[in-house]
């Protein structure tokens, strides 16, 4: 049976010095849904995702993730998240497979999972991460985010630098993920993503 999964955030505030970025932002998504977050540059899309990922702490407001009615604490929420973002990086001197092996061991995931994702995303196992094109590096970010089959995907500019085949591959994986998980998608360069149940515009 699919777990009942919900993510809610209420009245989030976050700033940097005198600059106010998030001002009372609220939203959420349930299993099988995507929340689409849009807004102009500097509106707080990436900051919102960093707060949801536990990488930044909101000054005010609450973030709650529940699985089958049980609230996850911060460490549990961090483990439940896969994060695709331009800032996500890999060890340049390691191959794609070696990078996924390393991160898989940290999360208790076997090497087979990483190699399967590399194949699904059309990435060579023996290419150094430092030698990847921008599009191939974006595919590797997706592989790293999905490696531990997280129930929550946070996607910041998820289609950045991808060609048509790359977009098709990652959107197929997103559809598969949404069969049992949820996603918060910020700043896509296309708005016709599937399964979008809610839309949060940070300019509004």
Q: How confident is the model at residue 3 (pLDDT cuts 50, 70, 90)?
A: low
Q: What is the mean pLDDT of residues 167-193?
A: 87
Report the alpha-carbon distance of residue 105 to residue 2 in Å, rounded: 26
Asked whether the predicted pLDDT for residue 51 surpasses 60, the reply is: yes
Please report the pLDDT score of residue 45 as a whole number. 95
Q: Looking at the chain, how many residues does it have?
A: 204
Report the percentage of the chain scoring pLDDT > 70.
97
* Tally of structural domains, the chain: 1
Asked whether the predicted pLDDT for residue 191 surpasses 70, the reply is: no
Q: What is the mean pLDDT of residues 34-59?
A: 94
Please report the pLDDT score of residue 113 as a whole number. 95
The range of the structural domain enclosing residue 167 comes to 5-201
The residues near 40 (Cβ < 8 Å, ≥ 6 apart) are: 202, 203
Please report the pLDDT score of residue 180 as a whole number. 86
* pLDDT, tens digit, 9 for 90 and up, residues 75-114: 999 999 999 999 888 999 999 999 999 999 999 999 999 9
Give a three-class secondary structure readout of 8-57: EEEEEEEEECCEEEEEEEEEEEECCCEEEEECCCCCCHHHHHHHHHCCCC
Please report the pLDDT score of residue 195 as a whole number. 82
Q: What is the mean pLDDT of residues 138-144?
A: 97
Both structure tokens of 33: 């849904």
Q: How confident is the model at residue 204 (pLDDT cuts 50, 70, 90)?
A: confident
Task: Output the average pLDDT for the chain.
Answer: 93
Please report the pLDDT score of residue 1 as a whole number. 47
* 193 vs 160: which has the higher pLDDT: 160
Q: What is the CATH number of the domain that holds 44?
A: 3.40.50.300
CA atoms within 13 A on the CB side of 147: 28
Both structure tokens of 87: 């800032």
Asked whether the predicted pLDDT for residue 68 surpasses 90, the reply is: no
pTM exceeds 0.85: yes
- Contact 14/47 with Cβ under 8 angstroms? yes
């Amino acid at each position: 049976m699919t777990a009942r999964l919900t993510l809610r955030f209420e009245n989030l505030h976050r700033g940097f010095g005198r600059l106010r970025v998030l001002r009372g932002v609220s939203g959420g998504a349930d299993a099988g849904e995507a929340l689409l977050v849009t807004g102009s540059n500097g509106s707080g899309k990436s900051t919102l995702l960093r707060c949801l990922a536990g990488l930044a702490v909101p000054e005010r407001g609450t973030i709650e993730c529940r699985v089958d009615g049980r609230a996850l604490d911060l460490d549990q929420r961090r483990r439940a998240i896969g994060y695709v973002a331009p800032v996500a990086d890999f060890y340049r001197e390691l191959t794609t497979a070696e990078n996924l092996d390393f991160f898989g061991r940290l999360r208790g995931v076997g090497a087979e999972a990483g190699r399967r994702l590399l194949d699904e995303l059309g990435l060579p196992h023996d290419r150094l991460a430092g030698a990847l094109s921008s599009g191939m590096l974006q595919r590797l970010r997706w592989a790293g985010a999905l490696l531990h089959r997280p129930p929550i995907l946070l996607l910041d500019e998820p289609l950045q630098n991808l060609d048509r085949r790359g977009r098709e591959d990652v959107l197929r994986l997103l559809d598969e993920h949404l069969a049992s998980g949820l996603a918060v998608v910020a700043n896509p360069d296309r708005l016709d993503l599937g399964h979008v149940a809610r839309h949060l515009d940070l300019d509004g």
